[in-house]
Amino acid sequence: MNSIDIDTPEVLERVQTGVKAFDDLVMGGLPRARTTIVGGTPGSGKTVFATQFLAHGITMYGESGVLVTFEEPPRDIEANMRGFGWDLARWRREGRLAFVDASPPTDEEMVIGDFDLGGLLSRILHSVKAVNARRVVLDSLTQLFDHFIGDPRIMRRELFHISNALKQAGLTVLMTAERNSEYGEITRHRLEEFVADNVVILRNVLHREKRRRTIEVLKMRGSHHAEGEAPFTLLANQGVVAVPLSSLRLEQQSSMVRVTSGNRAIDEMCGGGFFRDSVTLVSGATGTGKTLLVTNFLAGGVAAGEKAILFGYEESRGQLFRNASGWGVDFARMEEEGRLRVICLYPEAQGLPDHLLTIQALVDEFQPNRIAVDSLSALERIASDTGFREFLISLTSFIKKREIAGLCTATSKSLVGGQSASEQHISTLTDSIVLLRYIQEQDTMHRGLMVLKMRGSEHAKEIRRFTIDGAGMHLGAPFREAPDVFAGGGDYAR
């Protein structure tokens, strides 16, 4: 078939990869009968992404596939991908997947000089016909370049012929290629200029001794796509799971229904309680009572017949249960009754995208009416500023979409006044902010509480004294003078 004989569709047909968040980035999926280069450094997840493209095609969309491997033999790929829940061997036996093994034998010599890949193209097209494939993966082109040493223009010419032939056959092609650095050339051999309609970059950047995986659509010929990097992670039995911030929409409903904070006096300061589908930030120095407010928030929900879930990142379950008991709240009984669930994890146990997915999965499973996170500051220390802000945007968006009440805590770096980086990140994302502060009067240190922000509602403006005892938090009279709660040293506004 000549290229000029191909009908040009008015609208690009989309091929969903099955990685939902990625499909959102590319407006519904990769364009059909186009070639996409997936570039990345070693360990960035290229082979997993490419295999997932085939696996989801087979299991979710009824499209068979062909995997052309230039590096690992098929047996190794089948074993490696089993951990993600993909039974490639069974699909191969069922005629839904075919391998083209182009991996070089260990004793094979390099090819130097002129050559053509016509034989390889014939093998690919034969396999495509055998399984009636709609998707083809070539993994990885870098190994092909490394095997054929000579004029790189010959290799590019041959790849162009292969790519063009597969596109004319109506196949959607995904090729992987290695990069030398995370932010350097797109691929080591600059393939994208010759064979790719689309370019996707996977990164695995090291920051603060932690890796941060991101995916970016760099080029999508003839199609709009979301710009910028989106975080993703690799999960057992799932593969690539992306978290695209650009696909988030401010579409959540806003309810006028109020829920209790668990403290009647704070409810009154907030004009009747928190809104049901809002997120509240409680900020204060260590020891000011943040965890007590979390406990009251959870207990208040359970007392009202609701279900609540707590994600703790600073204290163990034992500590949280003991603290709650000291304030007259029985977490153990609430859990036994199925009204409460307490999850405690070390922040360093996994990356922020994994923490977010854990929260989402447990919320979807438990279906709580309210959620508490104690504290964001503990999670902040394991990620870059960008990664932390992405996490907060995704978390607050998720809470609001589920129309549940959320409460998060953040720890101020200074004992008196000041604010944490967490506050700077989340203050614009939350609907309400409650400040807890140490306030010095003469030679006495007091605790003070104020509602700094209450989106969509009037609220009290004064700074109230409060004390803590075995029965919980007790709010007292406002301070007669106006202490500057944002400055260190307990200065009073003049």
Residues taking part in catalysis: 71, 314
Distance between start and end Cα atoms, the chain = 84
- Do residues 39 and 199 make contact, with C-beta atoms less than 8 angstroms apart? yes
- Sorted by sequence, the CB contacts under 8 Å of residue 332 that are 6+ apart come out as 321
Vertex 277: Cα angle to 246 and 245 (nearest 5): 10
- Phi, psi at 138, each rounded to 5°: -115, 115
Nearest to 181 by CA among 206, 210, 148, 199: 206
Nearest to 379 by CA among 428, 421, 415, 418: 421
Tell me the torsion sign for CA atoms 314, 318, 324, 329. positive
Cα–Cα dist 316/342, whole Å: 10
Helix axes 74-81 and 46-60, enclosed angle (nearest 10): 80
Nearest to 269 by CA among 96, 454, 30, 489: 454
Bridge partner list, 65: 97, 135
Cα–Cα dist 405/259, whole Å: 8
